[in-house]
């Protein structure tokens, strides 16, 4: 997702009206849909209401997963929302609610950690740990109660969805159907430039300086051991694998990439996000870090495992006095989608702003044609072909812009590479502040304050909020033309025919 272009022109009123109406849609439960809980649940409802009031007053709301109106113990992401029309049977429904409760529990743990002590006093909850225990207990109680109520389950199915991360009113006001024409040319220019960069990188003489390499420091099992984890993993009633924390670490370690970064300054060094003395986001480059997460996607009736890795740089330095794309913080997100046998099927990548979405299929992923050639669909600058068992991927990253310029199997052995540690991405939801206390790297809108780019003033007609700003998992719109999210449950299925084993 990226285009360099001119501001749009005029627009037909009928299309404006249609987009405007779409932008007014709401997830609020209508009065006719309310199904009251029994009296014994009302204390828990009151607890969640009081907690939500304190969280919102303190501005520490976590935006990774979407709250479900009328169900304060649940949150939903795009993967779980994809089950709402098909999940059947008591066991599957219980598994579905439990996974939504887990999303809420993780978010509330971060929110409680970031609440000021005065808010905890106002809740009369004792310590933060006691407040989290009460939240857990109430969450379990309300889930059990909802599962006994067919009426409430029907309401939940209707409302367990995630609004897309596009603002319809911006597209309406920005005359999107006309504005997309120059943006389309800009996107094609980026594709052409990226293909040229890949060609240059792959034909460079062997003695060309290659920058700093980073490889994983931890040794927590081989690729063969990780594939055994995949084979033996228990699955819940939704068909989603259940991994222990140790198994998650082993999977992430087995597929962690080697990064080769052209380095001309500290802005090209990997590090750990933090808040500086002014309370602004920065990156500590004293030790390289990649942040990992285990995620899921769907292919037909199967759930596939995805492993995502995010590397952060201090900035994208400005080129000249006015640079639309430069600013504080930058990074790269690298993801692999695994088959049931644990072998890679397709890789894809974005920057933490949702920009520059690229796909790199293996021989087991065949691209599908775009249903609308005018939309951004699946840009494939290179294919990886047949990957020998145990292959680790090396990604090459340009200086300053941090564009990917090559992706290939790593054949260097990485003996001379700097070593990065692999950390849990959830840790970025609770970061220490210089004066005490903690705060999430991400605001209640899912954006990283202080990482804004000037491009947002030019690209707003495409409907992406604050285009170019770094953002939280679950908030990545990755196309200016059409609609596409990095965490769409059918993202891979719609774009590739996969060979599953």
- Domain boundary among the residues 131, 159, 187 is at 159
Is the separation of the CB atoms in 452 and 140 below 8 Å?
A: no
User: Cα–Cα distance between 386 and 398 in angstroms, integer?
Assistant: 26
| Residue 10 three-state SS | coil
Q: Are 117 and 244 within one domain?
A: no
DSSP 489: T
pLDDT at 500: 96
Q: Are 113 and 247 within one domain?
A: no
- Domain boundary among the residues 159, 192, 227 is at 159
In a domain, 189, yes or no: yes
Nearest to 52 by CA among 67, 31, 34: 67
pLDDT at 416: 81
Q: Are 278 and 182 within one domain?
A: yes
State which residues of the chain have pLDDT below 50: 2-28, 31-32
In a domain, 169, yes or no: no
In a domain, 129, yes or no: yes
pLDDT at 31: 43
Count each helix (H run) and each strand (E run) in the chain, helices first: 13, 20
Q: Which domain holds residue 125?
A: 26-159
pLDDT at 306: 98
Task: Provide φ and ψ at 426, rounded to 5°.
Answer: -60, -25
Q: Are 145 and 214 within one domain?
A: no
In a domain, 1, yes or no: no
Q: Are 319 and 422 within one domain?
A: yes
pLDDT at 16: 34
Q: Are 301 and 425 within one domain?
A: yes
Q: Are 232 and 109 within one domain?
A: no
pLDDT at 38: 86
Q: Are 358 and 487 within one domain?
A: yes
In the chain, % of residues over pLDDT 90? 84
Give the number of C-alpha atoms closer than 13 A to the C-alpha of residue 157, restricted to the C-beta side: 15
Q: Are 147 and 262 within one domain?
A: no
What are the start-end ranges of the E strands in 207-276? 212-216, 234-235, 241-242, 258-261, 272-275
Nearest to 178 by CA among 16, 355, 17: 16
pLDDT at 456: 97
Is the separation of the CB atoms in 333 and 349 below 8 Å?
A: yes
In a domain, 9, yes or no: no
In a domain, 418, yes or no: yes
User: Cα–Cα distance between 479 and 184 in angstroms, integer?
Assistant: 11
Q: Are 34 and 98 within one domain?
A: yes
pLDDT tens, 56-87? 999 999 999 999 999 999 999 999 999 999 99
pLDDT at 265: 97
In a domain, 285, yes or no: yes
Q: Are 277 and 374 within one domain?
A: yes
pLDDT at 206: 79
Question: Structural domain tally of the chain?
Answer: 2
Burial of 371 (0-12, 13-18, 19+ CB in 10 A): exposed
pLDDT at 219: 67
Q: Are 307 and 444 within one domain?
A: yes
The model's pTM = 0.92
In a domain, 16, yes or no: no
- Domain boundary among the residues 132, 159, 186 is at 159
Residue whose token pair is 């009123």: 13
């Amino acid at each position: 997702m990226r285009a360099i272009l001119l501001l749009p022109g005029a627009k037909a009123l009928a299309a404006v009206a249609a987009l405007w109406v779409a932008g007014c849609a709401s997830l609020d439960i209508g009065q006719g849909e309310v199904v009251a809980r029994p009296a014994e649940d009302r204390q828990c409802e009151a607890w969640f209401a009081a907690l939500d009031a304190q969280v919102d007053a303190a501005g520490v709301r976590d935006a990774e997963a979407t709250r479900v109106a009328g169900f304060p113990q649940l949150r939903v992401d795009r993967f779980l929302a994809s089950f709402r029309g098909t999940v059947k049977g008591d066991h599957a429904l219980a598994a579905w609610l439990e996974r939504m409760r887990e999303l809420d529990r993780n978010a509330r743990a971060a929110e409680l950690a970031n609440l000021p002590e005065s808010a905890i006093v106002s809740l009369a909850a004792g310590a933060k740990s006691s407040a989290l225990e009460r939240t857990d207990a109430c969450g379990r109680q309300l889930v059990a109660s909802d599962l006994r109520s067919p009426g409430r389950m029907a309401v939940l199915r209707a409302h367990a969805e995630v609004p897309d991360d596009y603002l319809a009113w911006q597209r309406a006001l920005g005359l999107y159907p006309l504005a997309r024409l120059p943006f389309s040319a800009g996107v094609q220019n980026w594709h052409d430039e990226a293909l040229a960069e890949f060609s240059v990188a792959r034909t460079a003489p062997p003695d060309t300086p290659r920058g700093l390499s980073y490889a994983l420091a931890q040794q927590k099992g081989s690729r063969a051991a990780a594939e055994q984890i995949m084979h033996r993993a228990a699955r819940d009633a939704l068909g989603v694998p259940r991994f222990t924390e140790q198994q998650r670490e082993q999977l992430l370690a087995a597929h962690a990439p080697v990064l080769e970064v052209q380095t001309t300054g500290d802005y090209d060094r990997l590090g750990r996000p933090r808040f500086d003395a002014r309370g602004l986001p920065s990156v500590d480059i004293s030790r390289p870090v990649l942040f990992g997460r285990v995620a899921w996607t769907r292919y037909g009736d199967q759930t596939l495992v995805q492993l995502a890795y995010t590397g952060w740089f201090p900035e994208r330095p400005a080129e000249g006095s006015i640079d639309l794309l430069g600013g504080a913080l930058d990074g790269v997100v690298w993801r692999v989608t695994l088959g049931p046998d644990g072998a890679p099927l397709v890789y894809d990548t974005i920057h933490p702003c949702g920009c520059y979405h690229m796909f790199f299929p293996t021989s087991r992923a065949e691209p599908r044609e775009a249903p609308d050639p005018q939309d951004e669909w699946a840009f494939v600058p290179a294919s990886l072909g047949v990957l020998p068992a145990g292959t680790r991927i090396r990604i090459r990253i340009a200086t300053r812009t941090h564009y990917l310029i090559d992706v290939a199997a790593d054949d260097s052995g990485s003996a001379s590479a700097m070593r990065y540690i692999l950390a849990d991405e959830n840790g970025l939801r609770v970061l220490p502040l210089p004066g005490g206390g903690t705060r999430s790297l991400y605001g209640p809108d899912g954006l990283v304050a202080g990482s804004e780019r000037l491009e947002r003033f030019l690209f707003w007609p495409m409907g992406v909020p604050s285009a170019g700003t770094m953002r939280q998992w679950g908030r990545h719109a990755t196309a200016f033309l059409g609609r596409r999210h990095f965490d769409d449950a059918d993202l891979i299925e719609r774009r590739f025919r996969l060979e599953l084993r």
